[in-house]
Each structure stands twice: as structure tokens, then as C-alpha cells.
Amino acid sequence: MLQDKNPQLTPVSSLGEFGLIKHLTENISLKQKSSEMGVGDDAAILNPEGKKILISTDILAEGVHFNLGYVPLKHLGYKAVVVNLSDIAAMNAEPAQILVSVAASNRFPVEAFEEIYAGIDLACKHYKVDLVGGDTTSSNAGLILSVTAIGFSETEKIVKRSGAKPNDLLVVTGDLGGAYFGLQILEREHSVFLANPNMQPEMEGYEYILERQLKPEARTDVRKTLDELGVQPTSMIDVSDGLASEILHLSDQSGVGFRLYEEKIPLDPQTISTADEFNLNPVMAALNGGEDYELLFTIAAGDFDKIKNHPDFSIIGHATETPDNYLVARGSEELVKLTAQGWDAYLNK
């Protein structure tokens, strides 16, 4: 981690607050047609171009959401953006702008801010969103990132959590549980390093799950795929806290129940082999691990043929009339009641 004990590093006080913001944002160019004016005035000006606005905000705190012992600052900046874009994607909308605020204690020099903003910039370029505002401040301790994301959509395309109907199919993108095991590897190697700083961390063979944890991606591509397939989901949410917790949200807000089939839950081979190594059940990581940032949605049963052969979508269950939620155990008829043991910023302290 960057520490300002190094005399070559630049204390933030040498630039001041305005100087720091100016320094970090001077190379920004706006790409979105809806971004009329960005950083530099009292507020940014956006042009909705006749569409509805989707807006969401998430705050990430050091020691709660990330450990700078093994999370590079650039990855952190990237992930902070992704987490928020994922919320816009979960409304089936197109993300267009972000605002980023950073509170950091004076142990973070200008170079640390530069790393965070390099990650933010990379995410902006990758997702074609514009950074249009933000704020920086010093703080008493630690590092906190607060990101607000804005997206746009035609009214008829927006998908809420509340639209699932009985017999709708439950679909998830990509695979689940990888981010959880990526974190286990990072924590294991960090402990080894703390015990013996001469040990090199063993990261080989864990590339995929490490990337799932350190550099997750938001599924902003799904909107276009669904559009091409001619499918409009009836409800949608992103998988940030684990499949179980998200299913319960859809259940609660749609007033339906769900049957989830254990054998249908998509798992990457690396997730399975690492789970094996830790003597853990990979399904538990998919259900309760969180941070996969895939999309979970429901579609009308009549849309089955449109998506059944798509390699990125897994049909993992269906909605029921009764509001209870069950996991159907692999290779049996046994029903296990789903409960939310998802990741919780408070319970994990």
C-alpha cells in the first residue's frame, strides 16, 4: 500500500482540495451524448433525451468492503464503478454517467488518489460512461468511496424487482460463487505473507476466481442480448449479496415464491476445484457468497425457447404461487427452505 512516509510521494495538502480535484479530472473528456457538461461547475448538466432516469448509489469502506493489504487501489477504483453500474444494468437500463466521492485519511498521498482514479477512468472507458462530478475530502481514518451511477432507458424497457409472476422462469447470467473463493485465496495468501513476508503468494491456477473478486464486471451487455432475443424480463436484480438473498428480494417484492434447482446453478470448474480444496460446498458460495455481479431475472414461461440455447444464460428455477422459497437438492426431491445469509456490511464486522 502507498504510504506517504516515502519522501518521493506528494502529500495532498500540497495541492489542496481544488487542486486535487482539478489534477484528477483534467483529462476527462465526455463521450455520452447525454452528458452536456461535466466536472467544473456547481452541478453537472445531463440531457435525458426523452428517456427515464435511473439512479443508484453505493458506498465502499476500507476494512468492511475491501482490505488494502491485498486489493490494489486501481482495482478498487474499477470495482467501485462496476458495483454501481451493475445496479443500473439490473434495471435493464443503460449506464451513462457516474459521480465519485472519495474520503481518505492523510496517510494517502496524491499518488494513491491517482491510482484510484486510474481504475475509475479504466472502468469509464470500458463501459463508455462519463465521470461528471464528485468530491474529495480528508477523513479521520481509512478510505471511503461513494459512487452514484446514472442510466437512461425507455419506460417500457425498465425492469423492476416486483414484476415476477407464478410460473415465470428464473434465469441467471454467467456463473456464481467465483468471487467468494477469489476472496478466500486472497485472504489465505495475505495471512501467509503476514506470517512470513519473504513468501511469494501462490496465485497460479486461481486466475479466474481472483479476477472475479478483484476485477468484477457489470453485465451491462445483457440488455442488448435480451433485446436481440426479443425477451423482456418480468423482474430483475443483480447478484451482489448471493443468490439466496436476491431470490428472497424478488420473492418479497413480486409476491411470489421460487423453486431453485441446485443442479442447475452455474459454477465454473475453478470455483468447484477451489471449493474442494477448502472443503467447502461451492453451491453455498453461490447462494451466500455474493459479489458475483451477475444478473438474476425472471421471464415469462413462453419465452423459454428464445433463451434455452444461449450459453450465457442458465435457467435455474421458476416462480410459484405460494410465497415460500425452496432449494431443490441435487438428485433428490428434498426441499430446503432458502434463507438470506448474504453478505452484510454489519454482520461481517
Site for a second copy in 6-45 (CB under 8 A): 12-13, 15-18, 20, 36-37, 40-45
CB closer to a second copy, 6 vs 13: 13
| Structure-block grid coordinates of residue 42 | 456547481
Q: What would the grid cell of residue 186 be?
A: 486472497
Residue number with CB closer to a second copy (130 or 189): 130
What string marks each residue from 131 to 160 as x (binds a second copy by CB under 8 A) or -? -xxxxxxxxxxx-x-x-xxxx------x-x
The Cα-based distances of 89 to 37, 135, 150 in angstroms read 23, 25, 10
Closer to a second copy by Cβ: residue 45 or 194: 45
Among 63, 69, 205, 323, binds a second copy (CB under 8 A): 63
The residue among 97 and 173 lying less far from a second copy, judged by its C-beta, is 97
Size of the chain, expressed as the number of residues it contains: 349
Q: Which of 9, 30, 64, 229 binds a second copy (CB under 8 A)?
A: 64
Minimum CB distance to a second copy, residue 333 (Å): 31
243 near 314, Cβ under 8 Å? no
CB of 112 to a second copy, least distance (A): 14
For a second copy, the closer of residues 60 and 185 by Cβ is 60
Nearest distance from C-beta of residue 286 to a second copy, angstroms: 20
Q: How far is the CB of 323 from a second copy (least distance, A)?
A: 17
For residue 291, the SS3 value is coil
CA distance 82 to 89: 10
Q: With binding defined as CB under 8 A, does residue 114 bind a second copy?
A: no
Q: Which is nearer to a second copy, 106 or 191 (CB)?
A: 106
Q: How many residues bind a second copy (CB under 8 A)?
A: 75
DSSP structural state of residue 62: B
CA distances to 5, 136, 227, 245 from 267, rounded to whole Å, are 44, 39, 26, 18
Range 169-188, binding a second copy (CB under 8 A): none
326-335 — which CB contacts under 8 Å span 24+ positions? 326/257, 326/258, 326/259, 326/260, 327/244, 327/260, 327/261, 327/262, 327/287, 328/259, 328/260, 328/261, 328/262, 329/262, 330/262, 330/263, 330/283, 331/263, 335/259
DSSP state of 202: -
Among 2, 24, 25, 62, interactor with a second copy by CB under 8 A: 62
User: Which residues, 6+ apart, have CB-to-CB distance to 17 below 8 Å?
Assistant: 136, 137
Query: Using CB under 8 A, which residues numbered 65 to 94 contact a second copy?
Result: 65, 87-88, 90-91, 93
Closest distance to a second copy from the beta carbon of 245 (Å): 8
**Residue labelled with grid coordinates 441446485:** 262
Question: CB-wise, 132 or 176, nearer to a second copy?
Answer: 132
User: Distance of alpha carbon 166 from its chain centroid, rounded?
Assistant: 28
Q: Which is nearer to a second copy, 51 or 79 (CB)?
A: 51
What residues from 205 to 244 belong to the interface with a second copy (CB under 8 A)?
236-238
Binding segment for a second copy among 62-70, 119-127, 280-288, 327-335 (CB under 8 A)? 62-70
Nearer to a second copy, 90 or 275 (CB): 90
- Cα(161)–Cα(74) distance, rounded to whole angstroms? 32
**What backbone phi and psi angles, to 5 degrees, belong to 18?**
-65, -40
